[in-house]
């Protein structure tokens, strides 16, 4: 019992601890994973805003310059270089400026190359700037043989004469911004275009204008974090952002296994805490189990004694309800004894001669028969009420039921209640406890007698239900049991007899049948009577508690 208590309490105590540790383990791991990736998303968001600000600043400066100056002024030899100088001072990263007519001819140029007169009419970027008003190109080499990209704006003059102002931006400007993100070892930051061509050099995926092996993530208006794998199957956390108004996609790549180094120390602490918790639980369980097992054993002994006394008290209460009938049954032979004794006294006192034995013998025999009848009644009553230990014996169930019916015989006769007992042929004897079976059937039959009206009917059917089991069905045509009460009738202290019921009879009956290894079922329809079916094993394994 002690070992069972220790094992059961330990399992109940330790399993939740292990379960909660496992849950917390995974929660901590997920939380640290998410927390370790959050800086990547935050840096990507900030870098997106910075790059968009960088491009917007240059587009706005170029647009302002085109609006403040007419194309005629821009074609003057000193005007465009002066604007270029001011833009370099204000923005930085601008290499040259060009003014292009709407037919695609570059009519003015300021910068280190001789590009005046160049025709851009057939180039895609020129057609796009005419349609959209602004354009930011991919990075390309061009005749400069250096990576650069172009920002262009279209301005419609007041006289209807439009032109395009085009500025070349050195990629070093955006390259410095990407490098300022300061990726740690195992991480990378770079810009690609929508086709996956590198616009800035990458630590792991190639030089500027190489095709990156990492796929371009799907478009999103804000910075996103994507967990994926590279071509070799290595897990990666990729923060990316599409730069509005440009073909650029900023990407920050990190290895999750490198950014979760702090998880290893926390993992050790979690496991150590689990081991210490289990050791503490086992210590408390072993110490407490000894105390609890002893207390439980004492409580079980007290409970068994209380239930035994309660069962006996219920049995005596049932006998008390039959006392009037028993008293009436004893009064009949006592009246005969009184009559015959008075007759003998009169014969002896009134006659001068002693009467002959033949005259007195019938009266004496009547007295003796009445005494035997009283003796049988009192013996049956005392035997039923005797407080005996559980004792298995061979029982003829039909004879036992007729003995129980003997207590109800006078009440049934007085109320004209017909009781019919039917048994199948070759009904087997039972190995069970006589006293407990008497109490079971007395309780059920008492309830049946209370339920039927005067002139009612009670049927008792004894049947085999198999080689090792029998059943006794006791049915009546009384008031029946409401459907809502059927599930509660075996509960302690539940009764429908508000004036006289204690609610213990059927509860005790149910407990006795279970201890005898059987079962009890009830079926009823209100107003049509009830049927209690007691199922009993032929050879009961008795519970002596």
What are the beta bridge partners of residue 168?
96, 150
What CATH number does domain 69-173 carry, 3.40.1160.10, 3.30.450.20, 2.60.110.10, 3.40.50.620? 3.30.450.20
CATH architecture of 392-545: 2-Layer Sandwich (3.30)
Helix (H) or strand (E) holding 367: helix 357-385
What pLDDT sits at residue 387? Answer: 45
Q: What angle do CA 14, 16, 17 make, to 5 degrees?
A: 60
Q: How far is 309 from 330, CA to CA, in rounded Å?
A: 29
Contact 119, 105 (CB under 8 A): yes
**Tens-digit pLDDT string for the chain (545 aa):** 567 766 776 777 778 777 777 787 777 667 666 666 778 888 899 999 999 999 999 999 999 988 888 888 888 878 889 999 998 888 888 989 999 999 999 999 998 888 888 999 888 889 899 999 999 999 988 776 888 899 999 998 767 678 999 999 988 888 888 887 766 677 889 999 999 999 999 988 899 999 998 889 999 999 998 888 877 777 888 999 999 989 999 999 887 665 555 556 667 777 888 788 888 888 887 777 777 777 777 777 776 676 656 656 666 655 565 555 555 556 666 766 776 677 677 667 776 766 667 766 777 777 777 676 666 666 555 555 554 455 678 899 999 899 888 878 878 888 899 999 999 988 999 998 887 888 889 888 988 888 899 999 999 999 998 888 999 999 999 888 888 888 778 777 666 665 555 556 777 788 888 888 899 999 988 888 999 999 999 887 766 55
Q: What is the DSSP letter of 426?
A: T
Question: How far is the CA of 21 from the CAs of 24, 85, 447, in angstroms?
Answer: 5, 66, 57
Sheet of 457-466, strands arranged across: 418-423, 457-466, 469-476, 529-537, 519-525
Residues of the chain with CATH 3.30.450.20: 69-173
What pLDDT sits at residue 515? Answer: 84
For tokens 């440009």, name the residue.
246
What pLDDT sits at residue 326? Answer: 58
For tokens 């029946």, name the residue.
480
Residues of the chain with CATH 3.30.565.10: 392-545
What pLDDT sits at residue 42? Answer: 87
**369-380 b/e (C-beta count within 10 Å ≥ 16 → b):** ebeebbeebeee
Q: How far is 352 from 316, CA to CA, in rounded Å?
A: 52
Q: How far is 287 from 10, CA to CA, in rounded Å?
A: 12
Write out the DSSP string of 47-90.
Answer: HHHHHHHHHHHHHHHHHHHHHHS-HHHHTSTTHHHHHHHHHHHH
Of residues 222, 89, 200, the one with CA closest to residue 139: 200
3-state secondary structure of 470: strand
């Amino acid at each position: 019992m002690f070992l069972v208590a220790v094992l059961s309490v330990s399992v109940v105590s330790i399993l939740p601890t292990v379960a909660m540790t496992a849950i917390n383990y995974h929660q901590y791991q997920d939380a640290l994973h998410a927390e370790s990736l959050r800086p990547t998303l935050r840096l990507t968001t900030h870098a997106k805003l910075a790059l968009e600000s960088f491009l917007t600043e240059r587009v706005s400066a170029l647009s302002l310059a085109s609006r403040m100056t007419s194309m005629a002024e821009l074609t003057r030899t000193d005007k465009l270089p002066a604007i270029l100088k001011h833009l370099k001072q204000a923005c930085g990263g601008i290499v040259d400026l060009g003014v292009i007519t709407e037919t695609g001819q570059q009519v003015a140029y300021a910068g280190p190359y001789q590009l005046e007169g160049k025709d851009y009419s057939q180039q895609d970027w020129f057609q796009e700037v005419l349609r959209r008003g602004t354009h930011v190109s991919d990075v390309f080499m061009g005749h400069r043989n250096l990576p650069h990209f172009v920002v262009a704006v279209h301005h419609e003059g007041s006289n209807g004469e439009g032109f395009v102002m085009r500025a070349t931006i050195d990629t070093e400007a955006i390259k410095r911004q990407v490098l300022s993100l300061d990726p740690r070892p195992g991480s990378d930051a770079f810009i690609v275009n929508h086709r996956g061509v590198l616009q800035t050099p990458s630590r792991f995926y190639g030089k500027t204008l190489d095709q990156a092996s990492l796929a371009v993530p799907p478009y999103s208006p804000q910075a996103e974090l994507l967990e994926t794998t590279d071509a070799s199957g290595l897990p990666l956390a990729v923060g990316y952002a599409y730069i509005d108004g440009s073909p650029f996609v900023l990407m920050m790549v990190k290895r999750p296994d490198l950014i979760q180094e702090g998880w290893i120390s926390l993992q050790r602490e979690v496991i150590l805490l689990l081991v210490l918790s289990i050791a503490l639980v086992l210590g408390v369980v072993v110490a407490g189990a000894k105390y609890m097992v002893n207390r439980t054993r004492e409580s079980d002994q007290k409970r068994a004694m209380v239930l035994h006394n309660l069962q006996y008290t219920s049995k005596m209460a049932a006998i008390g309800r039959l006392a009037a009938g028993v008293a009436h049954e004893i009064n009949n032979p006592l009246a005969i004894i009184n009559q015959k004794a008075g007759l003998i006294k009169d014969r002896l006192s009134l006659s001068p001669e002693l009467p002959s034995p033949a005259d007195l013998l019938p009266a004496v025999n009547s007295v003796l028969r009445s005494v035997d009848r009283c003796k049988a009644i009192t013996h049956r009553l005392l035997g039923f009420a005797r407080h005996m230990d559980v004792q298995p014996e061979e029982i003829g169930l039909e004879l036992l039921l007729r003995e129980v019916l003997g207590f109800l015989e006078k009440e049934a006769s007085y109320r004209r209640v017909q009781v019919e007992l039917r048994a199948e042929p070759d009904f087997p004897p039972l190995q069970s406890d006589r006293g407990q079976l008497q109490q079971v059937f007395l309780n059920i039959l008492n309830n049946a007698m209370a339920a039927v009206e005067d002139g009612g009917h009670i049927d008792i059917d004894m049947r085999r239900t198999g080689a090792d089991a029998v059943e006794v069905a006791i049915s009546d045509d009384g008031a029946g049991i409401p459907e809502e009460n059927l599930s509660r009738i075996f509960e302690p202290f539940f009764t429908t007899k508000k004036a006289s019921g204690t609610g213990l009879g059927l509860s005790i009956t149910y407990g006795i049948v279970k201890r005898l290894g059987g079962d009890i079922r009830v079926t009823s329809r209100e107003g049509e009577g009830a049927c209690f079916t007691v199922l009993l094993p032929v050879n009961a394994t008795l519970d002596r508690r």
